Amino acid sequence: MLCPINLNQKLSEGLLWRRLELIDNIIFTGNVIAPVFLLVFLGYFVKRINVINENFVDVTSKFVFSVSLPALVFINIVGINLSEEIDINQIIYIYAATLFSFFIVWILSIPFIKDAKNLSVFVQGAYRSNFAIVGLAIISKLFGASALGKASLILAFVLPLYNVLAVIILTVPFRKERKLNLKSTLVEILLNPLIVAVILGLLFSYFQITLPSVINLTLDFIAELALPLALIGIGGSLNMQNIQKASGLAFTSSAIKIILIPVILTLGSYYFGYRGLDLGIMFVLFSCPTAIVSFIMAEAMGANSKLAGNIVLISTVASVFTIAVGIVILKELSLI
C-alpha cells in the first residue's frame, strides 16, 4: 500500500509529465503554424512599406492559380499509388459533410438575411475552405511532404464540389434576376487550371507515365514557388482596417467557417473512426480560412464582394489561433 507521501509524489510527477507533454505539443504546433502565417504577415508587411503593390499581388495570384499551384498538385498526384491512397469512404464523408454544412448554413440563414447579395456571400464564406494553399502548407509542416500526395488527391475531389456549390449559391438566390447557363458553367469548372492538373495527374499516375527528368525538375522548381508565393499574396491582399468596418455578417460567417464547422465535422470524422494522418487532413480541410477565390467569384457574379473580402480577411487572421488550438487538442488526445 502506497503511503500518502509516495502517492503525492507520483501524482506530482504525473502532473509535471503532462505539463511537459502539453508544452511540447504547443511548441510543435507553433512550429507548424508559425511559418505558414508568418509568410502571410510578411506579405502584409511588405505591401504596407511599398515593397510590393496591388499589381504584384494580382499578377502573382494569377501565376500561382494558373501555373505554380497546378504544377504542385500535378507532381504530388503523379507520385502516389492510386490503388493504395484513394479511400472512397473518406471522400464520401468529406462530400457529405461539405454538403451538410452548405445546406444547413443556407437554410438557417434565409430568415435572417433577406438580401440575395449578402446571403450568397455569407454561405460561400462559411463553407469554402482555402485548402489548396493554407491547407497544403500546414499539412506539409504537420505530417511532412510525403502527406501532400494524399492531401492533393482529396483536393482533387473537393475542388469541383466547391466550384459547383459556389455557382449554385451565387446564382439560385438571384434566380428572379438572372438565368444559370449550365453549359458555360460546366466548361468553366472543367477548364479550371487546378481541375486540369488533377485530371492529368490522375492519368499519368494510373498509366504510370514517367516524365523526362528535365521536365520533372522544371515542374519541381515551379511547384516550390506555389505555397510561399501564394501565402505572401494572401498577406498582400489583406487590409486590416477593413476589420473595423466589417459587419456582423462577416464575423458570423467567419466564426462558422473556422470554429463551428471544424468542431462538428472533425467530431464526425472521429466518430467514423478516422485517426492519425486521415483525421489530421480532414481537420485541416474543415478548419482552413475562407478561400480568396470566394471574393473573386462574388465580384464576378454581382454579389457583395466587400462582404466577401471581409470574411476572407477575418477568417484568415483568426484561423492562426483556431487551427493552432485544434492541433494542440488533437495532439494532446493522441489522435494525430
One DSSP character per residue, 241-305 reads HHHHH--HHHHHHHHIIIIIHHHHHHHHHHHTT--HHHHHHHHHHHHSPBPTHHHHHHHHTTS-H
pLDDT band at 306 (very low <50, low <70, confident <90, very high): confident
pLDDT score recorded for residue 185 = 65
pLDDT score recorded for residue 27 = 87
| 152 touches 133 (CB < 8 A) | no
Does the pLDDT at position 46 exceed 80? Answer: yes
pLDDT band at 138 (very low <50, low <70, confident <90, very high): very high
Does the pLDDT at position 279 exceed 80? Answer: yes
User: Which parts of the chain are beta strand (E)?
Assistant: none
pLDDT tens per residue, range 216-225: 999 999 988 8
Angle at 289 between CA 182 and CA 28, to 5 degrees: 140
pLDDT, the chain, mean: 86
| 223 touches 68 (CB < 8 A) | yes
Looking up cell 500518502 gives 4
- Lowest-pLDDT choice from 55-64, 76-85, 97-106, 159-168: 76-85
Query: Residue 67 contacts by C-beta under 8 Å, 6 or more apart in sequence?
Result: 193, 222
Does the pLDDT at position 1 exceed 70? Answer: no
| 134 touches 289 (CB < 8 A) | yes
Q: What are phi and psi of 247, to 5 degrees?
A: -85, 170
Query: Residue 124 contacts by C-beta under 8 Å, 6 or more apart in sequence?
Result: 165, 166, 169, 170, 290, 294, 297, 298, 308
Does the pLDDT at position 83 exceed 80? Answer: no
pLDDT score recorded for residue 227 = 83
End-to-end alpha-carbon separation of the chain, Å?
37
What average pLDDT does the segment 9-21 reach? 70
Q: What distance lies between CA 152 and its chain's CA centroid?
A: 12
pLDDT score recorded for residue 335 = 95
Predicted model pTM? 0.82
| DSSP helix/strand/coil, 235 | helix
pLDDT score recorded for residue 148 = 86
pLDDT band at 14 (very low <50, low <70, confident <90, very high): low
pLDDT score recorded for residue 32 = 84
What average pLDDT does the segment 305-330 reach? 90
pLDDT score recorded for residue 84 = 66
pLDDT score recorded for residue 175 = 67
| 289 touches 258 (CB < 8 A) | yes
pLDDT band at 107 (very low <50, low <70, confident <90, very high): very high
Q: Among residues 152, 159, 319, which one has the least CA distance to residue 167?
A: 159
| DSSP helix/strand/coil, 156 | helix
pLDDT tens per residue, range 164-176: 898 889 888 876 5
- Lowest-pLDDT choice from 115-124, 145-154, 312-321: 145-154
| 195 touches 132 (CB < 8 A) | no
Q: Give CA–CA dist 269/275, Å, rounded.
A: 8
What average pLDDT does the segment 138-150 reach? 88
Q: Give CA–CA dist 192/3, Å, rounded.
A: 70
- Lowest-pLDDT choice from 6-15, 67-76, 151-160, 322-331: 6-15
pLDDT score recorded for residue 206 = 84
